[in-house]
């Protein structure tokens, strides 16, 4: 981290699920690896519940179960917890945010290294309905007032709205208070190792440059599966559904990196300019290229209405109307309560013209990038079956990260992204126009689903989703290969 000076990280919604599962563990890991200097940093929790500093610290200790057990981390954990303070108050209370500002200012004065500069990072681990009042309060009472440098930044989480209109409204409200370089819209898929590898893979390998287009690629699949249901999040989930929860953000961001043109440099603005162009080239989704599903038992959750049509599974085909991709289906598929937990990108190449081995029905070349679990990249190739006979077989060129990079531990997406917010690097964050273009793609379909015009088909928990989704894939030209 290049800048120095006091650094206050303020987690709003400190007792919520996100703070517990992601934000505090990521902060601890950054601290443990030396990325948060204890001479500079202080962490503040802000939430409504009236608890003491010590109670919040104990709660956080409770979240970090594995760290508590690891003897090399236990001492660091105790030191880390001492850096945490708590301020309680409502999310629209002047008085609460004034107290928060006092606490931050006290910390800034106490840090000898600060030399008067002030860095303030506000992490909104909160539902979007409170973003407007909270941003207003931060702007009015808690921004950096030092003449000697520093900054104020805010980090916001999805869902950024429910459709184009509500997202634009939210963007305008926050945009009236903070400039775009101060706003970090997190999509944690952009922090995953193999997602970050995508541009390197595409633009640093001569091998892929001439192949990455409609002449060679038959179809692209971006697939997310979870082997558990909504588990206590039914109320939240039912308002959003799988398209808003996973496809419109995580999978679409991955699509951008697979499909974008080469940026003129690695500057965040150049990369994001190219992503926006891809999104703007997507043509309206047709209902016949959508299959929705809902797992059986989803409505048993008491917070889910009995007649809910909310999809917990969806396959949608996006078509990019440009020179590189015309005619290539991008199949985005996501589902909860499925047979496995997996996320991958599957690039299927066209058949070999004039195949003298007559091996086409054995499968096409496929390049698979497994985002999780067990990060890997592998390429399915046709090779000669070893032995006396001339037989062909599908095999794999396999780069499994666990085997190849045994001594490297892969950082959690949130660690990387929080570090970027401190460094001021917006490359892996969603820009306002990107967000707008992403909502433009899905809003008409979402409205049709909300009105019940596109129905969710029931599927069994632990299955592959509705059979209609496999039929859609086939129709789109996906040919199943061995081992899939
Ligand atoms: C979140 C969704 O954004 O991503 C969850 O709201 C989902 O529903 C989660 O479980 C998946 O993240 P990961 O990193 O486990 O794939």
- DSSP string of 80-138, one letter each residue: HHHTEEEEE--TT-HHHHHHHHHHHHHHHHH-GGGTT-EEEEEEE-S-GGGHHHHHHHI
Compute the distance from residue 12 Cα to the ligand 1 centre, in Å.
20
User: Is residue 361 scored above 70 in pLDDT?
Assistant: no
Sign of CA dihedral 317, 322, 324, 326: positive
Tally DSSP H helices, then E strands, for the chain: 17, 15
Q: Which residues contact 113 (CB under 8 A, 6 or more apart)?
A: 4, 5, 6, 37, 39, 40
User: Is residue 69 scored above 80 in pLDDT?
Assistant: no
Task: Pick the atom of ligand 1 nearest to 371's CA.
Answer: 16
User: Is residue 34 scored above 90 in pLDDT?
Assistant: yes
- Give the mutation target among 22, 125, 188 for probing the ligand 1 site: most ligand atoms within 8 A of CB: 188
Task: Pick the atom of ligand 1 nearest to 237's CA.
Answer: 8
If we measure between CA atoms, which residue out of 251, 270, 284 comes closest to residue 199?
270
Compute the distance from residue 106 Cα to the ligand 1 centre, in Å.
37
Full DSSP string of 26-55: HHHHHHHTT-S-TTTEEEEEEESS---HHH
Atom 13 (ligand 1): residue with closest C-alpha? 189
- The residues lining ligand 1, judged by C-beta closer than 6 Å to any ligand atom, are 188, 226, 245, 343
Q: Check 42, 107, 188, 250 and give the catalytic one.
A: 250
Partner residues linked to 319 by β-bridges: 329
| pLDDT in the model for residue 360 | 55
Q: How are the residues of the chain apportioned to helix, strand and coil, as percentages rounded to the nearest 5?
A: 40, 20, 35
Mean pLDDT of 186-215: 97
User: Is residue 236 scored above 70 in pLDDT?
Assistant: yes
CA distance between the termini of the chain: 43
Average pLDDT, the chain: 93
Compute the distance from residue 235 Cα to the ligand 1 centre, in Å.
16
* Pairing state between β 118-124 and 217-225: unpaired
Compute the distance from residue 96 Cα to the ligand 1 centre, in Å.
32
Helix (H, G, I), strand (E, B) or coil at 13: coil
Helix axes 432-450 and 268-280, enclosed angle (nearest 10): 30
Task: Pick the atom of ligand 1 nearest to 233's CA.
Answer: 8
- Give the mutation target among 190, 245, 375, 412 for probing the ligand 1 site: most ligand atoms within 8 A of CB: 245
Q: Going along 320-365, which residue ranges are E strands?
A: 329-335, 342-349
Atom 6 (ligand 1): residue with closest C-alpha? 245
Which of 2-16, 235-249, 297-311 is least confident?
A: 2-16
Q: Which residues contact 38 (CB under 8 A, 6 or more apart)?
A: 31, 79, 83
| pLDDT in the model for residue 258 | 98
Q: What is the CA radius of gyration of the chain?
A: 24
Atom 5 (ligand 1): residue with closest C-alpha? 245
Which of 116-125, 253-262, 295-304 is least confident?
A: 116-125
CB 341 within 8 A of CB 370: no
Task: Pick the atom of ligand 1 nearest to 189's CA.
Answer: 14
- State the burial class of residue 130 (Cβ atoms within 10 Å of its Cβ: 0-12, 13-18, 19+): middle
| pLDDT in the model for residue 2 | 47
* Full strand arrangement of the beta sheet holding 329-335: 392-400, 376-384, 366-372, 342-349, 217-225, 329-335, 313-319, 290-295, 456-459
Based on the residue annotation, tell me whether 270 is a catalytic residue of this protein.
Answer: no
Compute the distance from residue 431 Cα to the ligand 1 centre, in Å.
20
Partner residues linked to 318 by β-bridges: 330
Complex confidence, ipTM: 0.97
Q: Which residues contact 365 (CB under 8 A, 6 or more apart)?
A: 348, 349, 379, 380, 381, 382
Q: Which residues contact 218 (CB under 8 A, 6 or more apart)?
A: 328, 348, 349, 350, 351, 364, 477, 478, 479
């Amino acid at each position: 981290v290049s800048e120095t000076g006091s650094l206050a990280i303020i987690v709003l919604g400190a007792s919520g699920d996100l703070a517990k599962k992601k934000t505090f563990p990521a902060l601890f890991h950054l601290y443990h690896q030396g990325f948060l200097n204890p001479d500079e940093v202080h962490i503040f929790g802000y939430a409504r519940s009236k608890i003491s500093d010590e109670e919040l610290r104990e709660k956080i200790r409770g979240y970090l179960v594995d760290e508590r057990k690891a003897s090399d981390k236990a001492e660091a954990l105790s030191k880390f917890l001492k850096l945490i303070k708590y301020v309680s108050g409502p999310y629209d209370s002047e008085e609460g945010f004034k107290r928060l500002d006092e606490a931050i200012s006290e910390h800034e004065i106490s840090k000898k290294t600060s030399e008067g500069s002030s860095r303030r990072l506000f992490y909104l681990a909160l539902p979007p309905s409170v973003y407007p009042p909270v941003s207003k309060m931060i702007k009015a009472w808690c921004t950096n007032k030092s003449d000697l440098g520093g900054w104020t930044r805010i980090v916001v989480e999805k869902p950024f709205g429910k459709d184009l209109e509500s997202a634009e409204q939210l963007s305008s409200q926050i945009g009236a208070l903070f400039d775009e370089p101060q706003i970090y819209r997190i999509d944690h898929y952009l922090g995953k190792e193999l997602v970050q590898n995508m541009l390197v893979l595409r633009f640093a390998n001569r091998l892929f440059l001439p192949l990455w287009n409609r002449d060679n690629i038959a179809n692209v699949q971006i697939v997310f599966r979870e082997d558990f249901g909504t588990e206590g999040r039914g109320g939240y989930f039912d308002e959003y559904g799988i398209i808003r929860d996973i496809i419109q953000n995580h999978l679409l961001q991955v699509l951008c990196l697979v499909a974008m043109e080469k940026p003129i440099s690695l500057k965040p603005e150049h990369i994001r300019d190219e992503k926006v162009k891809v999104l703007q080239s997507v043509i309206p989704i047709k209902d016949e290229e959508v299959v929705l599903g809902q797992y059986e038992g989803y409505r048993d959750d008491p917070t889910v209405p009995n007649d809910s049509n909310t999809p917990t599974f969806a396959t949608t085909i996006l078509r990019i109307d440009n020179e590189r991709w015309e005619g290539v289906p991008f199949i985005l598929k996501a589902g909860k309560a499925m047979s496995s937990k997996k996320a991958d990108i599957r690039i299927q190449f066209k058949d070999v013209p004039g195949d003298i081995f007559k091996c086409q029905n054995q499968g096409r070349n496929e390049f698979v990038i497994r985002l999780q679990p067990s990060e890997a990249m592998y390429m399915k190739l046709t090779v000669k079956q070893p032995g006396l006979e001339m037989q062909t077989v599908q095999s794999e060129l396999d780069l499994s990260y666990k085997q190849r990079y045994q001594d490297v531990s892969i950082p959690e997406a949130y660690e990387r992204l929080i570090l970027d917010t401190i460094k001021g690097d917006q490359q892996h964050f969603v820009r306002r126009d990107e967000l707008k273009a992403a909502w433009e793609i899905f809003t008409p379909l979402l409205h049709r689903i909300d009105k019940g015009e596109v129905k969710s088909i029931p599927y069994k928990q632990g299955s592959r989703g509705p059979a209609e989704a496999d039929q859609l894939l086939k129709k789109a030209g996906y040919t199943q290969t061995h081992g899939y």
